[in-house]
């Protein structure tokens, strides 16, 4: 028996969009709108039977692959995973290590930012990551991860001299 395994992402940016993103480091308004739609799609797949607080994340890797994640709650609350972690875990488990942006969507009429654990989780992959927090109407606030978690602990800190 032979089982063929394919690398799976939830989508791929068109080549011209990826080239623009690579050259400018900024999202166009069309890509921002698409990021919102993808984060909303991910939110609609979340599993939140306890809190009823649905969250979706859309993560764009520098390869152009797009990964979606919804929060997944668990009756033993400590086993719950946030949407951002779900998206990152999908991407990293497929070999991705470099990312441009993550968009986060909820059902609340507020700009909900990634929790502290997610911020620390994402720092592992770069402080320059763009983070978009979307309201249900598509309006957003944009940050870098460095803005959200200044003076964070990261992989480079493990190489510091010790006494």
The catalytic residues are 84
Sheet architecture: strand order including 130-134: 11-12, 65-70, 55-61, 99-106, 130-134, 140-144
Other CB atoms within 10 A of residue 41 CB: 16
Q: Residue 87 in contact with residue 57, Cβ under 8 Å?
A: yes
Measured from the Cβ of residue 6, the count of other Cβ atoms closer than 10 Å reads: 5
């Amino acid at each position: 028996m032979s089982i063929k395994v394919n690398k799976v992402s939830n989508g791929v940016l068109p080549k011209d969009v990826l080239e623009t993103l690579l050259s400018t480091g900024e999202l166009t308004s069309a890509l921002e709108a698409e990021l919102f739609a993808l984060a909303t799609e991910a939110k609609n797949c979340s599993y939140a039977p306890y809190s009823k607080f649905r969250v979706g994340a859309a993560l764009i890797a520098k390869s152009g692959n797009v990964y979606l994640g919804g929060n997944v709650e668990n009756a033993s609350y400590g086993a719950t995973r946030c949407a951002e972690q779900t998206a990152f875990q999908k991407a990293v488990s497929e070999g991705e290590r470099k990312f441009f942006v993550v968009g986060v969507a909820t059902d609340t009429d507020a700009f909900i930012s990634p929790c502290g654990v997610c911020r620390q989780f994402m720092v592992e992959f770069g402080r320059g990551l763009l983070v978009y927090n979307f309201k249900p109407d598509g309006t957003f606030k944009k940050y870098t991860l460095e803005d959200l978690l200044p003076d964070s602990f990261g992989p480079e800190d493990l190489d510091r001299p010790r006494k």
